[in-house]
């Protein structure tokens, strides 16, 4: 039987669930995972990180005086900082080889909003987690709602 283990810290759990567990559950349930909607944005901050591991920074979108979209990182980046998933707009993925992100760098941004609802589940009433309704499983992550 399939098993998905999740880490212990709240932010790590949410990001791991969104990036690994949800697509896996969708595939095992017969759903096609919606393509991740992303766009390129310009960083409005410098960031130093350890090499050799991928990181996902929680960021907020804003516009500067010229109307250009910029992103700012959440000031407290700990994986136990629950509020960072609620108070930010999305994630940027920093690759393993990167050790310094310079202000003004173009990065792929993924918004933390619900994807469009999928088709109904293959078995009426089947739901691994969450609440059955609206033709699928509904997941609640604080003020974010995810349809499965």
Please name which of 141, 44, 130 lies closest in space to residue 84, comparing C-alpha atoms.
141
Q: What is the mean pLDDT of residues 38-46?
A: 91
Q: 3-state DSSP call for residue 14?
A: helix
pLDDT at 46: 96
Question: What is the rounded average pLDDT of the residues 113-134?
Answer: 51
What is the CB-side half-sphere exposure of residue 58 using CA atoms within 13 A?
Answer: 21
Please identify which residue in the block is written with the tokens 């399939």. Answer: 2
Q: Per-residue pLDDT tens for 133-145?
A: 444 444 444 444 4
Q: Which one, of 9, 26, 19, lies nearest residue 91 by Cα? A: 19
What is the pTM (predicted TM-score) of this model?
0.70
**Would you state the structure tokens that stand for residue 115, as one six-digit string?**
């994807």
Using only the alpha carbons of the chain, give its radius of gyration: 17
User: What are residue 132's phi and psi, to 5 degrees?
Assistant: -80, 135
Residue with tokens 């609620």: 86
pLDDT in tens, 70-80: 899 998 888 88
């Amino acid at each position: 039987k399939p098993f998905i283990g999740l880490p212990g810290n709240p932010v790590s759990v949410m990001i791991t669930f969104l990036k690994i567990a949800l697509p896996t559950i969708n595939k095992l349930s017969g759903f096609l995972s919606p393509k991740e909607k992303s766009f390129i944005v310009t960083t409005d901050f410098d960031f130093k990180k350890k090499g050799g591991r991928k990181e996902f920074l929680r960021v907020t979108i804003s516009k500067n005086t010229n109307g250009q979209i910029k992103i700012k990182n959440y000031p407290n980046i700990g994986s136990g900082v629950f509020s960072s998933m609620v108070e930010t707009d999305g994630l940027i993925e920093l690759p393993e080889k990167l050790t310094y992100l310079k202000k003004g760098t173009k990065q792929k941004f993924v918004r933390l909003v619900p994807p469009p609802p999928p088709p109904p589940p293959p078995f009426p009433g089947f739901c691994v987690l969450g609440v059955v309704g609206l033709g699928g499983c509904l997941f609640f992550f604080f003020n974010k709602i995810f349809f499965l």
